[in-house]
Amino acid sequence: MMKKFLTISILAGVAFAAGAATAQNDPIAQRKSIMKGVGDATKPVAGMLKGTEPFDNALVQKALATYIDAAKKMPSLFPADSKHGGETTARSNIWDEKPRFDGLFARLGQEAAAAQGAIKDQDSLKPNFGKVLGVCKECHDDYREKKN
């Protein structure tokens, strides 16, 4: 009985490790995961921007750090062989306009870094975080299929 349990445990561990390795090698899964993290970090800030949540600079700074991290990682997650599959919403013009597309991530990182130093209170939130969100909107408008 113990031997059977040990064998099952080992097989389960191998299957888990294989699944994790596959996700690490799947750029579509990686970029979806990163963008989900960006979305999750943005939700509380969106409430602050609307005035429905109190200003919390720790959450704002955490969101901006998430943006900066995403801006560094995302350009490499659009290799030519990731145009299709994985329920991607990436538009095909990304690969035709790769320098501009990658430049948007560079701008995102720059705007987020500038906002980190500029946002101190509710009054400084909207104009500075708005610049960051403007880069997101530009990228989504030009390079992301609209969800139905």
Q: What is the pLDDT of residues 43-71, one digit of tens each?
A: 999 999 999 999 999 999 999 999 999 99
Q: What single-letter DSSP state applies at residue 90?
A: B
Q: Which residue has the higher pLDDT, 63 or 13?
A: 63
> What is the band of 8 on the pLDDT scale with cuts at 50, 70, 90?
low
pLDDT at 14: 46
Which class in CATH covers the domain with range 27-143?
A: mainly alpha
pLDDT digits (tens, 9 = 90+) for 125-148: 999 999 999 999 999 999 999 876
pLDDT at 84: 86
pLDDT at 21: 41
First-to-last alpha carbon distance for the chain, in angstroms, is 51
Q: Is 15 helix (H, G, I), strand (E, B) or coil?
A: helix
CA atoms within 13 A on the CB side of 148: 1
Q: Domain residues of the chain, as ranges?
A: 27-143
CA distance 16 to 28: 19
- Report CA Rg, the chain: 19
CA distance 25 to 46: 32
pLDDT digits (tens, 9 = 90+) for 79-134: 999 988 888 899 999 999 999 999 999 999 999 999 999 999 999 999 999 999 99
CA distance 95 to 25: 19
Q: Give pTM, 2 decimals.
A: 0.82
CA distance 90 to 30: 13
**Rounded to 5°, angle at Cα 27 from 25 and 31:** 130
Select from 72, 74, 143 the least CA-distant residue to 113. 72
